Amino acid sequence: MDCAARGFGTRCVGPPTRRCGQCGAVAYCSVSHQISHWSYHKEECERLEEQMRRVDLLNEFPFTFTEEATIQVSQKQESRCSFLSKRGLHHVGMWMYECNCGASARFSDYDRSEGWNLPSSSCPCLGPLSPVTKQLCSWMDYFEWRKIHLDSPVALLLHWPLTIYHAIQAIGMGNLTPQISNELRIHYLGPQKELGQLGVFAELQALFPGLRIRVELVGPDVPQHMDGEMIPLCRYSPCMEEECECKYSSEIPNPGDKSTLSSAVSLQLHRGFYHDRYSDITKDSPPPHIVIAPNAGIAAYPSWLPTIELIKEIKVPAVFSDYCEEACHLAACCIKTITGQPLSLPIGLNPFRQPMAVEESPLFLPCYSNCFIFAM
């Protein structure tokens, strides 16, 4: 964690050991830096104080590893690397991008044989035993439905498709059939580590049975050599057990099998900013039903200005997420300034946020991938 006044004037004189006495969310290297930063910090101090009161709620998950992945990671007693290493997942397949030392690995062409590297009881390598009969509102709901043990770390990757599911429910599109016929079109903005974890999006088949799902992933981090690539996900990512049924369903299904195609997920990758690529993406296909931007960082990147203007123009619901509530608040201010309108969905905690704290958070507040969502 850096001094909250870093970059505001004089150089820092040491580590940030002096926390704000009111909110407790930020820290300073010296009394002088705390005093000089007050004119800026007073605008956020009361909000951060309120957010700090809800820390226990942010850290609340049903998993057997919850304390290890939340409090201990936040306090640097554990790290993402050590967590994954204990489970034999460090630098393995889709898990490679879940720690700092693997984050710089290059994305290569999607490997259709990439699996969970977990036993079948710990991952969704096959379709669900029964369809969803009620709205899923928590990780506990999901794990009970999919019959996965609560010691499994799969939620670290499944938060991507589950956040899509929650976003659709949150904006009132849960009953999709009357609106969408048989295809759900999603424009997914700013993918980063997901580009090495594309297999997890096959879970959308289970979450939206009977629909063909097309996801357009658009962002500057898409590698040049993958621009335009179409990836069909006609099966679930396999487990590590050689005798599991998921190994025998690994072939791409027969195109004549309409029941299989009706639930298939297809991903297409597009390199560049959404406002630059939108006309190309929709040239031969209808507009999206929903735009989703995970961990958007709207207030941090000026490139969001033309994208938000475009979303307002095309009149499609857009759901954003971010790592902490304060980032969402700043984003909401930006959106209101650009569009002249308040949020259509107020900032709310995402029950399907990733259950592992972000290392090196800029605040004493714990941060989680896809932690809060909101919509315009």
- Residue-level pLDDT at 197: 94
- Residue-level pLDDT at 112: 60
Average of per-residue pLDDT across 206-223: 94
Q: What is the spatial distance between Cα 374 and Cα 376, in angstroms, rounded to a whole number?
A: 7
DSSP state of 97: G
Strands (E), the chain: 18-19, 27-28, 183-189, 212-219, 230-233, 265-271, 290-293, 318-322, 345-349, 372-375
Beta-bridge partners for 219: 271
Average of per-residue pLDDT across 205-220: 94
Separation of first and last alpha carbons in the chain:
32
268 versus 19: the higher-pLDDT residue is: 268
Average of per-residue pLDDT across 63-74: 95
Q: What is the spatial distance between Cα 314 and Cα 213, in angstroms, rounded to a whole number?
A: 20
Whether 255 has a pLDDT exceeding 60, the answer reads no
Average of per-residue pLDDT across 283-298: 95
Locate 47 and state its tokens: 């909000």
Beta-bridge partners for 322: 372
Q: For the chain, what is the total number of helices (H) and then of strands (E)?
A: 14, 10
C-alpha count within 13 angstroms, C-beta hemisphere, residue 301: 13
Cβ-contact 219, 191 below 8 angstroms: yes
Residues 6+ apart with CB under 8 A from 311: 291, 318, 376
Torsion of CA 144, 145, 150, 156, to 10 degrees: -140
Whether 152 has a pLDDT exceeding 60, the answer reads yes
β-pairing verdict for 183-189 and 290-293: parallel
Locate 53 and state its tokens: 């009161």
Rg of the chain on CA atoms, in Å: 21
> pLDDT tens digits, residue range 110-139?
666 679 999 999 999 999 999 888 899 999
Neighbours of 128 (CB within 10 A): 16
**3-state SS, residue 270:** strand
- Residue-level pLDDT at 136: 97
Confidence category of residue 176, pLDDT binned at 50, 70, 90 = low
Confidence category of residue 105, pLDDT binned at 50, 70, 90 = low
Nearest to residue 52, comparing CAs of 371, 363, 368?
Answer: 363
Nearest to residue 298, comparing CAs of 334, 324, 341?
Answer: 334
Residues 6+ apart with CB under 8 A from 57: 349
- Percent above pLDDT 70 for the chain: 91
Beta-bridge partners for 231: 267
Reported pTM = 0.90
Q: What is the spatial distance between Cα 272 and Cα 249, in angstroms, rounded to a whole number?
A: 35
Query: What's phi and psi for 132, nearest 5 deg?
Result: -65, 120
Confidence category of residue 201, pLDDT binned at 50, 70, 90 = very high
Whether 103 has a pLDDT exceeding 70, the answer reads no
DSSP state of 336: H
> pLDDT tens digits, residue range 301-325?
999 999 999 999 999 999 999 999 9
- Residue-level pLDDT at 180: 63
> pLDDT tens digits, residue range 326-368?
999 999 999 999 999 999 999 999 999 999 999 877 778 889 9
Cβ-contact 244, 120 below 8 angstroms: yes
- Residue-level pLDDT at 179: 58
> pLDDT tens digits, residue range 267-281?
999 999 999 999 999
Whether 252 has a pLDDT exceeding 80, the answer reads no
Locate 155 and state its tokens: 């939620």
Whether 263 has a pLDDT exceeding 60, the answer reads no
Whether 262 has a pLDDT exceeding 80, the answer reads no
CA angle 142, 147, 150 (to 5 degrees): 75
Average of per-residue pLDDT across 231-256: 76
Average of per-residue pLDDT across 57-76: 94
